[in-house]
Amino acid sequence: MATACSGSTSEIVSTTASSEPAAAPSTSTESTSVTPVALSCEQAFLAKLNPRQKLGQLLTVGVTGTADAVNVVRESQVGGIFIGGWTDQSLLTAGGVAQVQGAANVPVMVTIDEEGGRVSRVANLIGVAPSAREAAATMTPEQVYGLTLERAKAMKGLGITVDFAPDVDVSSQPDDSVIGDRSYSNDPDTVTQYGDAVIRGLNDGGLGAVIKHFPGHGSGSGDSHTGAVSTPPLSELQATDLVPFRSLVTSGAAVMVGHLDVPGLTAPGIPASISPAAMNLLRTGTGYGAAPFDGVIFTDDLGGMAAITSRLSIPQAVEAALVAGADDALWITTTEVPAVLDQLERAVAEGRLPADRVDASVLRVARYKGALSC
């Protein structure tokens, strides 16, 4: 559902100045010249959206089913919807996605976190896949690529456009811990090889990929669903957790930032998902030896994880994330969308969230989801 931009024009009305003395009043009407000024492709795209709709494009929200999704897209023009385990699957199987896209001014990302193993939302529709840890133990990277490609094509057939996968955390935690068997290995090079295979499989199958959870959840102190999580210091992450991100930020995948307190990087009480320092580390690459990243930065869920909700309301968390440098704020319900947009409009009006930063993020998201070809 990609739409290509074409140049459009605006008009500037000008009058010709003269160095001659002013002439006597005349009863004739002087003509004016109209000069068309071409808008760039990006300017033309942005001109289609009013300020509140631009802010809506930076939100991805969980939906309960078709009616919920259509309503939030029609009313708020959110940029993405999220399919969770609670979502009525008729959205995917009975024409619901087409209804959602029909309500949108800009094509909507239809996102899911289909990792395989215990994090699987549509295994009943597309078939099962092993956990990351089991896959690395029993399959080659190319076999994982093949399986991912097959499942990506099946997801695309359901209308899904983005998979929040692969998980490239480096971990030796027990299988049933928060990361555990979602990690391919405790060896960063192995994680990188399998992560690359999944990214290629998703992309070749027509889906966007998202690597997570920057800067690395694999050796964190707990579960960000239930409370604050601290990682080892940034200096220790360099040789382990950050290795897959360092290698894969040039793969074309987006990046999801986790709710992680990182000594030597984040300020006290400010997890990476709302930390300007963490966003800057990812965006510039300076400080962990990576290439600059100009792709989309997603937050982890801002509404259902105590590492954030114990500190901030959803509107506050969304503002903090976008001000810090994220492009797309994710949470799992639609009811807060109007309040979030009100909060963001105030943040722009009061100068906390610069309008040019909003425009840059809108363009990044649009390119990532295929809505902008320039």
By annotation, the residues acting in catalysis are 225, 300
What is the 3 state secondary structure string of the chain? CCCCCCCCEEEEEECCCCCCCCCCCCCCCCCCEEEEEECCHHHHHHHCCCHHHHHHCCEEEECCCHHHHHHHHHHHCCCEEEECCCCCCHHHHCCHHHHHHHCCCCCCEEEECCCECCECCCHHHHCCCCCHHHHHHHCCHHHHHHHHHHHHHHHHHCCCCEECCCECCCCCCCCCCCCHHHCCCCCHHHHHHHHHHHHHHHHHCCCEEEEEEECCCCCCCCCCCCCCCECCCHHHHCCCCHHHHHHHCCCCCEEEECCCECCCCCCCCCCHHHCHHHHHHHHHCCCCCCCCCCCCEEECCCCCCHHHHCCCCHHHHHHHHHHHCCCEEEECCCCCHHHHHHHHHHHHHCCCCCHHHHHHHHHHHHHHCCCCCC
Helix (H, G, I), strand (E, B) or coil at 367: helix
Residue 196 dihedral angles phi and psi, to the nearest 5°: -60, -40
Q: In whole angstroms, how far apart are CA 71 and each of 65, 81, 240, 255? A: 10, 11, 44, 28
Residue for token digits 């009061």? 350
**What is the crossing angle of helices 314-324 and 276-284, to 10°?**
40
DSSP state of 182: G
Gyration radius of the chain over CA positions: 23
Give residue for tokens 């998703």. Answer: 202
